[in-house]
Amino acid sequence: MASVSWRKRGNRYLVSWRLDDGSQGGKTVDTPDEARDLAAEKRLEMRRGTWRGRQRGRLPFSTWAAEWWETWAADDRSPNTLAAAENRLRLHLRPWFADRLIEKITPAEVRRWQAQLTRRVGPATVAQCRSLALRIFQFAMDEGAIDANPVRKVPPLKRRADPEQVLSGVKRRALTPEEAGRLLACFPLFWWDHVTCLLGTGLRFGELAGLRRRRVHLDRPVPVLQVVDVRYQAGRFGSGFKARPKSDAGIREVPLAPLVVEAIRRQLPKGSDPDDLVFTGPGGGPGHPGGPSVPRGTRTVLSRHNLHRTYQAALAKLADPTAQFRPTAKHALQALRHDGPQRVDQLAARLSSTGRRPVRPATVAVALVELRTAGLAAVDGDHDELGGYWSALPVTRDPLLDAVHLHGAHDFRHTFATWLEDAGIPARVIDELMGHEATGRSSQHQGSAMGAHYRHTTPEMAVRVIDAIERRLTVVLHTAEQTLENCPNRSTPRVF
């Protein structure tokens, strides 16, 4: 039977206890009053059943993190949320706290952890890791292992304003219609409809990849698509489709501009299966390990990694215009840069001596005209194209690379929201179309929360959204087509 007693030992007093499971312990205090108070506290803990929790305070942080994970992950969590939380635990929390007893972790220790984390990662990651630590310590506190949550006693680091950002000295994330057109021209033609839809709807990648035929209504007076099904790719947590977005605000209807409607019609497969995916990958590739290869042109599930590689390849073309030309033009430009000005016949001889087969002067002349059209080569003004000396001109990067901070397909979502704001669309409507939940923390939301309950998006507002997006997409496609026309002889864009 559990018991608690105390006695004098030398000049101090020893409080001893024994639990029902045979475990025992003791603590020495200075006065009889402290001994009586401690003994009463232990008896009260035994009666309340919290003594077991105090024993568990001697367990390491990693054990509590594992127990919290089992409880937290048992709820209906998004696979992407699980993957992100697991990465933060593995990279930023476990290495620091590791095997330290949770009852020994003090606010000072949490403060040191937060300070070193701030030096290594950005403010968003610090906030997310702090949230995880707060939940784990709160879980241990609720189980009676610790008396207080040390994270709550450490204020979060205040994010100071960046003077360069305040003064507009940093790159933006949104593209102008002209910049979006030049970027689109660097994409293979297969991806033009995908990019047009991303620019014209502001969908997240998973929402685009999960869009099905039954969620697209193109014959309504105001065409819309419904965001419900979402594709996820979460590493070891698997990949597939979810029946709903992460938040309720993500379930929404987005009005479609005519150019977006045309892009969706081109991508819809034949037939009437309501579960058909609208946007798919280009096919091709080795397929699953041990399985057959996938023929090019097969409608495969859209992959985030495939689109990201294509996006980065488009940025590489903007950074180096020569990447889009055929081999003869590339080799001719390299020869001009290495050996200086040359005539067409000299270049033909030079390329024939270094290549596997002879190169005709006429082929070289076509390549040089292609380079001149792109502003990469010029001929001596006193002679014609065949008899004059050609020289290489400096390569210039597209200025949008210096003006816009490009990351990936999510840039199109930034662009969509910015275009709507430029068109004077209310912030509440933009939030609805983007699938953002309104919170009381943002100072950008004007009006009361109750007032927002009485404001609704009318068909007239949807028409305003369609008109704003249509006008900008028209510029995008015109710029992209004009860019292609300026380089008519460049290599045909491939699927990959």
For the chain, what is the HEC assignment? CCEEEEEEECCEEEEEEECCCCCEEEEEECCHHHHHHHHHHHHHHHHHCCHHHHHHCCCEHHHHHHHHHHHHHCCCCCHHHHHHHHHHHHHHHHHHHCCCEHHHCCHHHHHHHHHHHHHHCCHHHHHHHHHHHHHHHHHHHHCCCCCCCHHHHCCCCCCCCCHHHHCCCCCECCCCHHHHHHHHHCCCHHHHHHHHHHHHHCCCHHHHHCCEHHHEECCCCCCEEEECCEEEECHHHCEEEECCCCCHHHCEEEECCHHHHHHHHHHCCCCCCCCCECCCEEECCCCCCCCCCCCEEEEECCCHHHHHHHHHHHHHHHHCHHHHCCHHHHHHHHHHHHHCCECHHHHHHHHHHHCCCCCCHHHHHHHHHHHHHCCCEEECCCCCCCCCCEEECCCCCCCHHHHECCCCCHHHHHHHHHHHHHCCCCHHHHHHHHCCCCCCCCCCCCCCHHHHHCCCCCHHHHHHHHHHHHHHHHHHHHHHHHHHHHCCCCCCCCCC
- Residue numbers of the domain that contains 93: 61-153
Is 160 contained in some domain? no
Q: How far apart are CA 42 and CA 63, in angstroms?
A: 25
Round to whole Å and give the CA distance between 201 and 174. 14
Note the pLDDT of residue 373: 80
Residue 443 confidence (pLDDT)? 44
| pLDDT score, position 449 | 59
In a domain, 55, yes or no: no
The last residue of a domain, from among 88, 118, 153? 153
Residue 373 and residue 365: Cα distance in Å, rounded? Answer: 12
User: Token pair of 82, please?
Assistant: 């699980």
**221 plus 286 within the same structural domain:** yes
Q: How far apart are CA 286 and CA 134, in angstroms?
A: 45
309 to 95, 112, 182, 285: CA distances (angstroms): 32, 39, 18, 14
CATH classification of the domain holding 118: 1.10.150.130
- Looking at the domain assignment, is residue 492 inside a domain? no
Does one domain contain both 138 and 81? yes
Whether 181 and 292 share a structural domain: yes
Residue 458: the pLDDT is 84
Give a yes or no: residue 159 inside a domain: no
Indicate which CATH number applies to the domain containing 265.
1.10.443.10
Residue 16 falls inside a structural domain = yes
Q: Are residues 118 and 206 in the same domain?
A: no
Report the domain count for the chain: 4
Q: Along the 496 residues of the chain, how does pLDDT read in single tens digits?
A: 678 888 888 889 998 877 665 667 788 999 999 999 988 887 777 666 554 545 677 889 999 999 999 999 988 888 999 999 999 999 999 999 988 999 899 999 999 999 999 999 989 999 999 999 999 999 998 888 888 999 999 999 887 777 766 676 678 899 999 999 999 999 999 999 999 999 999 999 999 999 999 999 999 999 999 999 999 999 888 899 999 898 889 999 999 999 999 999 999 999 889 999 999 998 766 666 666 767 776 788 999 999 999 999 999 888 887 777 788 888 888 888 888 888 888 888 888 888 778 888 888 888 888 888 877 888 886 667 777 888 888 877 788 888 899 999 999 999 999 999 999 999 989 999 999 876 554 444 455 555 566 667 788 999 999 999 999 999 999 999 998 887 654 444 443 3
- The answer to whether position 475 is within a domain reads yes
State whether 306 and 378 are in the same domain.
no
Spell 437-463 as b/e; 16+ CB within 10 A means b: eeeeeeeeeeeeeeeeeeeebeeebbe
Considering the entire predicted model, what is its pTM?
A: 0.76
**pLDDT at site 492:** 44
Q: Is residue 161, in this structure, part of any structural domain at all?
A: no
Do 217 and 247 belong together in one domain?
yes
Residue 99 and residue 42 in one domain: no
Check which CATH number belongs to the domain holding 336 and give it.
1.10.10.10
Give the pLDDT of residue 22.
62
Q: Give the CA distances from residue 437 to residues 87, 291, 310, in Å, rounded to whole numbers and listed in that order.
A: 25, 43, 31
Do residues 330 and 376 both lie within one domain?
A: yes
195 and 240 assigned to the same domain: yes
Dihedral sign for Cα atoms in the order 474, 278, 212, 269: positive
CA gap 221, 471 in Å, rounded: 19
User: Is 302 part of a structural domain of the chain?
Assistant: yes
Answer yes or no: do 42 and 68 share one domain: no
Same domain, 79 and 198: no
* Pair (87, 38) in one structural domain: no
